[in-house]
Structure 1
Amino acid sequence: MSDEWPAFDVERDAPTFALLHLASQMLGKLRVAHAPWANHGWHVTLLPVAEGLAMPPIAAGGQRFELIIDLCAHAIALRTSKGVRDKLPLQSTSIAALHHDLIDMLDRHGLPSNFNGRPNEVADAIPFAEDDLQRSYDRNSAERLRDALARIVPIFERFRAGFAGKASPVHFFWGSFDLAVTRFSGRSAPPHPGGIPGLPDRVTREAYSHEVSSAGFWPGGVTAAEPIFYSYAYPEPDGFRSAIITPALARFDETLGEFVLPYEAVRAAADPDAALTSFLQSTYDAAANLAGWDRIALEREPVAP
């Protein structure tokens, strides 16, 4: 097996990531419509799995079903507790056609298929059913995203394991199309100001009801951009933006309001795992120290497998 992290190219990869972003929103919105609400909206996130990204199972009519964005088979795969297996290819389609075919596949198996039809957190969002633009899908772009997640997820999981306090799973937010892990101080936070385009303020305020230090990986999505790692704190403590963060290529992005580290800087590092771990740890250290978290009570040594 190669030790090299896969390389990304915005021009080549952006069309595929845009399609996957919108496809992931359909799965997430299905879960919003048919699963009970959990704190911080964690119940609707997708989970990184070996094949790609999975919607947690939904209960329906005495059975459970799940959908997976399968980046090995290049399809949306359906699996049910009664043994049903079906799939919907991702290649060479429009979002409208994918939306229609997903609903048709669920209806064909007697499963719930209704969900909100407008993308979230997308500027000038076009309803799925009306997005007739022909989308290109490059299998290699999708596989490199899958392989990057295979490298990143274990590092995030190891980082999460060093926290004894409340922490999120390592999960994937389909609204913004990013992998994230979040630590909580245990203290309530002031109401979030909201105002995130395409995201109801009530959802944002539920997500940030308590003080957090959060980090993640954003490969780009409907917005074509160089992939980055990020880290932020809410509420942001005084002095956070000027904190010394490692590795040296990390910086605070005033537009995003968070520390960022280019994915390419990690990929090209002599030890990518160590470079990413130092970014996660140093940004958390800055947030926790400046905000006065009870680190003795909240932290622990990660337990080896």
Structure 2
Amino acid sequence: MSANWTDIPYDGWRDTCAALHLYTQIAGKYKLARTPWLNHSWHATLYVSARGLTTSLVPDASGVEIEFDLLEHRVVGSAADGRKAHFALAPMSVAQFHAHFLDLVAQLGGKPVFHGRPNEIPNPVPFQDDHAARPYDADAVTRFFRALVTVCCVLERFRTGYIGKVSPVHFFWGSFDLAVTRFSGRRAPLHPGGVPALPDEVTREAYSHEVSSAGFWPGGPAIPFPAFYSYAYPSPDGFSKATPLPSGAYFDDKLGEFILPYEHVRTSDEPERALMAFLDSTYQAAADLGGWDRAALECRGGEPLRPRPVDHH
């Protein structure tokens, strides 16, 4: 078992995870408010960094970057004009975090104005009105970050085996998951919407084209354990009956997705191979049953310093 696959049982940090989810929503909504719209909401996502999660450069003031430093447990803001500001990640309410965040953006010269209510959460409470005390388990957060880095590296490798349209490996703060998405190139049927606290027009734009999407959750109300998932939209006939790899993966009828518990991967003899088997087998089921042109869309996985051969025929 690889030491990089850290143990992150959801029950042990459930309340801290819920708090961190809301904190990343606040940073994400700031980025969303300042950044021109990019297809499928890719402009709003966070990215795994060497220390945690980052907004990357936000086009506000001189240029602003917000990073959740999950090693030293701080929110660090940097501006392109040299200004810096930070505050500690510690037990506090969402309202307190929100106030600290507004002040941080202002110190960087940015405009701290954005939508003030969470998305993709049932019965959302405005950030400034959420005064419930929230814990902060620093050790659990760091272990979660270590897992994100390890998973991100596998997802990045999986991404290289596709020359069709494919998303970055990015972190969606609304659903609190790390994801990568492949596209067939064809338009999809209009999505029905209905995601809690998310405008249908956003959901429909996100799923405007056929996708096979996979990613990683730390756990949540729907699945109370860390897990990998894979789904297709639209879901082709027979998709739920396909056989995923490795053993331990299964189709969740309620979610409409394939699930592979993180613990199954973590404790396997070859965790990276187990996860790649899940990613490959579930994508192949979506592509084969959906009639994707796999020969035109796929390629050999990328390797350092080796350009892909060009087919002139």
> Alpha-carbon deviations, 1:16-38, whole Å to 9, x = none?
21111001101111111111101
- CA drift of 1:4 comes to 4.6
Which residue number in structure 1 is paired with residue 7 of structure 2? 7
Helix, strand or coil for the counterpart of 2:180? Answer: strand
Equivalences for 1:232-247 in 2 at 5 Å?
232-247=231-246
Q: Report the residue type matching 2:294 in the other structure.
A: R
Helix, strand or coil for the counterpart of 1:56? Answer: coil
Which residue number in structure 2 is paired with residue 29 of structure 1? 29
- CA drift of 1:248 comes to 1.0
Determine if the alignment matches structure 1 residue 70 to structure 2 residue 69: yes
Equivalences for 1:54-133 in 2 at 5 Å?
54-61=54-61, 63-133=62-132
Distance 1:59 1:221 in 2: 32
Greater strand proportion: 1
| 1:18/1:223 contact within 8 Å kept | no
Helix, strand or coil for the counterpart of 2:112? Answer: coil
Helix, strand or coil for the counterpart of 1:29? Answer: helix
Q: Report the residue type matching 1:27 in the other structure.
A: A
Distance 1:160 1:106 in 2: 33
Which residue number in structure 2 is paired with residue 138 of structure 1? 137
| 1:10/1:224 contact within 8 Å kept | no
| 2:11/2:224 contact within 8 Å kept | no
| 2:84/2:108 contact within 8 Å kept | no
Q: Which runs of 4+ in 1 moved over 3 A?
A: 221-224
Equivalences for 1:184-203 in 2 at 5 Å?
184-203=183-202
Distance 1:190 1:280 in 2: 24
Helix, strand or coil for the counterpart of 2:59? Answer: strand
- Per mean C-alpha deviation after superposition, the further-off stretch among 102-111 and 244-253 is 102-111
Helix, strand or coil for the counterpart of 1:58? Answer: coil
> Alpha-carbon deviations, 1:185-209, whole Å to 9, x = none?
0000010010111111000000000
> Alpha-carbon deviations, 1:93-122, whole Å to 9, x = none?
110000011101222332110111100011
Over 3 Å counting, the alpha-carbon distance change for 1:301 and 1:224 in structure 2 is closer
| 1:20/1:221 contact within 8 Å kept | no
| 1:245/1:282 contact within 8 Å kept | yes
Q: Report the residue type matching 1:99 in the other structure.
A: H
> Alpha-carbon deviations, 1:208-233, whole Å to 9, x = none?
00000000001025778201100000
Q: Report the residue type matching 1:206 in the other structure.
A: E
Helix, strand or coil for the counterpart of 2:202? Answer: helix
Distance 1:21 1:158 in 2: 26
Distance 1:223 1:289 in 2: 28
Which residue number in structure 1 is paired with residue 311 of structure 2? none
Which residue number in structure 1 is paired with residue 163 of structure 2? 164
Helix, strand or coil for the counterpart of 1:93? Answer: coil
Distance 1:107 1:12 in 2: 35
Helix, strand or coil for the counterpart of 2:117? Answer: coil
Distance 1:224 1:156 in 2: 21
Q: Report the residue type matching 2:15 in the other structure.
A: P
Which residue number in structure 2 is paired with residue 42 of structure 1? 42
Helix, strand or coil for the counterpart of 1:11? Answer: helix
Distance 1:223 1:32 in 2: 26
Helix, strand or coil for the counterpart of 1:126? Answer: coil
- CA drift of 1:157 comes to 0.4
- CA drift of 1:153 comes to 0.6
Distance 1:196 1:101 in 2: 29
Equivalences for 1:170-249 in 2 at 5 Å?
170-220=169-219, 225-249=224-248
Distance 2:101 2:5 in 1: 32
For the aligned residue pairs, the C-alpha RMSD in angstroms reads 1.3
Distance 2:153 2:104 in 1: 33
Q: How many residues align?
A: 303
| 1:177/1:220 contact within 8 Å kept | no
Over 3 Å counting, the alpha-carbon distance change for 1:94 and 1:221 in structure 2 is farther
Helix, strand or coil for the counterpart of 1:37? Answer: coil
Distance 1:28 1:14 in 2: 21
Percent of pairs identical after alignment? 50
Q: Report the residue type matching 1:144 in the other structure.
A: R
Structure 1 residue runs without a partner (length 5+)? none
Helix, strand or coil for the counterpart of 1:82? Answer: coil
Equivalences for 1:142-153 in 2 at 5 Å?
142-153=141-152
Distance 2:25 2:51 in 1: 18
Q: Report the residue type matching 1:19 in the other structure.
A: A
